[in-house]
Structure 1
Amino acid sequence: MSDTDSFIDEVSEEVRRDRLYRYLRRYGWIAIVLVLLIVGGAAFNEWRQAQARAGAETFGGALAGALTAGDLDTRIASLEELTAGAEGDAAHLAAFARAQALVAADRPEEAAAAFAEIAASDADPLYTSLATLRANSVPGALPTPQERIDAMTDLLLEDAPFSLLAMEQRALALIEEGDIPAAHADFETILNDPLATRALRDRTLQMLIATGGDAPVEPTLVTPSQGN
């Protein structure tokens, strides 16, 4: 390589280096900001997760304490205070526990109202469906049979969780209304559903027979005859 070529290469290298330095001075701050944003975002996310874990642990401890606090009246008051101070799912969970405590304290009207309030809230469908079911099945504070039929039918139309329990409650309300064939249809649907629990099947079968229905015939296992 000639001296001229070597000189040209050196000049080109210096030009490229000088251009790179100018770019770094002009735009280097952008890279620095991006790095800071990435690092800061990761740190903030870790902090937020740690805060959420700490909050969940604190709420869990407070809920456990409220559920075991003194007599039922003290327990209800503690759960009411916890509900007022919580947010989101935590508040709905505490409210549900309070409603259950009202049932245990033999305060059915208050319990039904508490369940109805949860059912009308913006809680997760798991909470609202179960609260609707409970609001319509608290002993001592039952709505009219037709109101219960309507409420349970709405749950079934929404394909909500606890649909089999909703169907059971609808069948019981239908019996009160005197519509035995419709009640039997619901009972038979429950018995034919593979997701029905043993306890639910037993209750359903008892009510079906008690109201004049026929017990379903269990399939007979046929064994092949020998000597064929």
Structure 2
Amino acid sequence: MSNPESFVDEVSEAVRRDKLYASFRRYGWIGLVVVLAIVGGAAWNEWQKSQADSRAQAFGDAVLTAIESPDAAARAKALAAVPADGSQLAVQKLLAATDVDGDRAGAVAALDALAGDMTQPETYRDLALLKSVLLQPELALADRRAKLEPLAGLGRPFSLLAREQLALMLAEEGKTAEAIAALTELTQVTDAPGGLRQRAGAMVVALGGVLDEPAPAELQEGASE
């Protein structure tokens, strides 16, 4: 009985192999196409990444070259001539508005235009609005506060800087206790930049407040001056 059973097994195995080979001949090209698509896609992504890196480097080099000129007018002209698109335009406008050489009105107009450009990332728009407000100390407190309060919201990229300015406005209004409370709060934000925490601490001391921890010597000296 074993010989017939072995024969049947061999025949069945041969049939399975024939079916497998037939299926491979019929559908094997699909697998080949899939492999080629995966390899081609990976190569395309790497090429795009390389192009983006080269473009970013070229933009950075051109900007650095443009701002090296000692003459403000020449810097502005060279910076405006740097090819840019997308978020690079925002960087270009921010740099141009920073290097105003006395043209504060022009800088404010450029910053406000960028702040209102919804095609740009929120980070650049918020920074432009913050810089615009800082360039206009003559604005009414209510107007400055209205511009900065949205920037101080949770999760906004420059929330801490906006909160610092809002606290200083409280001091400007004569609301000393509220200003001290707001500034003290900033000194306790563990992930806040060290410079911001030091400034907030110095203002607390200058306004007559007391920090939970002894203020560093440089803050005490700054306040006494």
- CA offset digits 1:142-169 (Å, max 9, x no partner): 4333211211222224553333432443
Q: In the alignment, which residue of structure 2 is the partner of 1:225?
A: none
What residue ranges of structure 2 are gaps of 5+ in the alignment? Answer: 215-225
- Counterpart Cα distance in 2 of 1:142 and 1:67: 29
Number of matched residues? Answer: 206
- CA separation of 1:159/1:23 partners in 2, compared to 1, >3 Å: closer, same or farther? closer
Contact 1:191 1:205 in 2 (8 A): no
Q: In the alignment, which residue of structure 1 is the partner of 2:123?
A: 126
- CA separation of 1:147/1:3 partners in 2, compared to 1, >3 Å: closer, same or farther? same
Q: In the alignment, which residue of structure 2 is the partner of 1:216?
A: 209
Deviation at residue 35 of structure 1 after TM alignment: 0.8
Larger-gyration structure (1/2): 1
* Aligned partner of residue 149 in structure 2, secondary structure: helix
Q: Which amino acid aligns with 1:165?
A: L
- Counterpart Cα distance in 2 of 1:132 and 1:160: 13
**What do you get for the CA RMSD once the two structures are aligned?**
2.8
Q: In the alignment, which residue of structure 2 is the partner of 1:180?
A: 174
Q: In the alignment, which residue of structure 1 is the partner of 2:182?
A: 189
Contact 1:119 1:128 in 2 (8 A): yes
- Counterpart Cα distance in 2 of 1:204 and 1:81: 46
What's the TM-score, normalizing by structure 1?
Answer: 0.76
Q: Which amino acid aligns with 1:96?
A: L
Q: In the alignment, which residue of structure 1 is the partner of 2:109?
A: 113
- CA separation of 1:97/1:11 partners in 2, compared to 1, >3 Å: closer, same or farther? same
- Counterpart Cα distance in 2 of 1:77 and 1:70: 12
Q: In the alignment, which residue of structure 2 is the partner of 1:149?
A: 145
Identical-pair percentage: 34
- Counterpart Cα distance in 2 of 1:5 and 1:11: 10
Contact 2:115 2:128 in 1 (8 A): yes
What's the TM-score, normalizing by structure 2?
Answer: 0.77
Contact 2:201 2:211 in 1 (8 A): no
Structure 1 residue 135 corresponds to structure 2 residue 132: yes
2:166 paired residue among 164, 167, 170: 170
What residue ranges of structure 1 are gaps of 5+ in the alignment? Answer: 209-214, 222-228
Deviation at residue 23 of structure 1 after TM alignment: 0.5
Deviation at residue 62 of structure 1 after TM alignment: 1.0
Structure 1 residue 40 corresponds to structure 2 residue 33: no
Q: In the alignment, which residue of structure 2 is the partner of 1:87?
A: 85
